[in-house]
Amino acid sequence: MTLGSPFGIPVHLHWSFGLLLAGAALWGGWMGGMLGLGLVSLSMGVLAGSVVLHELGHALAAKRFGIGTAHITLYPFGGVAAIERMPEDPDQEMVIALAGPAVNIALAAAFGWLWLLTTSPLVLVFAGLNLAMAVFNLLPAYPMDGGRVLRAYLARSMGMVPATRVAHRIGTGFAWAFIVVGVAWPWPSLLLVGAFLLVALRQEHQRMVAWNWERTTGRPAPWNTTTQSTPVPSASAPTSWPWSRS
Ligand SMILES: [Zn+2]
């Protein structure tokens, strides 16, 4: 389902996120009637909106460097901006990676200001959601934003391939840690982030091998990687449905 195309970038809603929205709305209605339904719908709307704006931050930063974005898709754990390729200049990758969390920090500041005006606790929660989203995505869990910043930083001194190798190892550690904590807590959205990161890590590895092949041999890689775009996953895990044990 396509929600719209801001700046010419289609924003899709993955069916699993649609299911989650419907489930949450039903739960809100069942627990608190019309008020509950309204509160849950508003909260999910603000959360989804914050994720879309975060991804648009990445997409617009990429556009500045002449790189398009195929689509933005919302999942239960957050969103993914399918950037057509990553720039080979580490400084550009760093700007693209930081643009997403920067949007959340700006949104947190805006909600904080709104809270001063309204003193509504709900608005303060929205400020907190965005702050949590910024902090979580800045963890060095490659290929999430913080991991891309780390890779770009390392690539300046050690080169793209060794830097990716280090970031990949750290990212794999984070992915498994998210999965373990996600199962033990239980915290389903963190578990989903971990699982998604493992898939994204494998795709990034294949892309890196192909890129290195093309660079060293001067010929296109014998396997097809051009149809894939680089996923820039951004998690809303700390803000969505942790199931507390207490
Ligand atoms: Zn991001």
The answer as to whether 32 is a domain residue is yes
Within-domain flag for 107: yes
Coil, helix or strand at residue 1: coil
**pLDDT confidence bin for 245, thresholds 50/70/90:** very low
* Residue scoring higher pLDDT (124 or 30): 124
pLDDT for position 242: 44
pLDDT value at residue 171: 96
Domain contains 246: no
Partnered with residue 81 across adjacent β-strands are: 72, 232
How far is C-alpha 108 from the chain's CA centre?
Answer: 17
pLDDT attached to residue 223: 66
Q: What is the pTM of this model?
A: 0.88
- Exactly one of 55, 84, 88, 204 is catalytic; name it: 55
Q: Give distance in angstroms: CA of 240 to centre of ligand 1.
A: 16
For residue range 64-100, what is the model confidence (pLDDT) as tens digits?
999 999 999 988 888 888 888 878 899 999 999 999 9
Range of the domain at 83: 2-221+228-239
Alpha helices in 218-242 (DSSP H): none
Query: Residue 244 Cα, ligand 1 centroid: separation in angstroms?
Result: 26
In sequence order, the 6+-apart residues with CB closer than 8 A to the CB of 155 are: 90, 93, 163, 164
Q: What is the mean pLDDT of residues 180-204?
A: 89
Q: Is residue 151 part of a domain?
A: yes
Residue 185 is given by DSSP the state T
Domain count, the chain: 1
The answer to whether residue 244 sits within a structural domain is no
pLDDT confidence tier of residue 185, bands split at 50, 70 and 90: confident
Give the pLDDT confidence score for residue 244 in this predicted structure.
46
9-59 pLDDT tens trace: 999 988 888 787 788 888 888 887 888 888 888 888 898 899 999 999 999
Distance of CA 58 from the midpoint of ligand 1 (Å): 7
Tokens matching residue 84: 């057509």
Condensed to tens digits (0 to 9), the pLDDT of residues 137-182 reads 999 999 899 999 999 999 999 998 999 999 999 999 999 999 999 9
Cα(220) to ligand 1 centroid in Å equals 29
* Percent with pLDDT over 90 in the chain: 51
Q: How far apart are CA 235 and CA 79, in angstroms?
A: 6
**In a domain? residue 129:** yes
Beta carbons of 170 and 140 less than 8 angstroms apart:
yes
Which pLDDT score is estimated for 227?
53
In a domain, 245, yes or no: no
The whole-number average pLDDT for the span 96-115 is 96
At 225 the pLDDT is 55
Q: Does residue 91 lie within any of the structural domains?
A: yes
Q: What is the pLDDT of residue 224?
A: 58
Distance 246 CA to ligand 1 centre (A): 31
Has 84 been annotated as catalytic? no
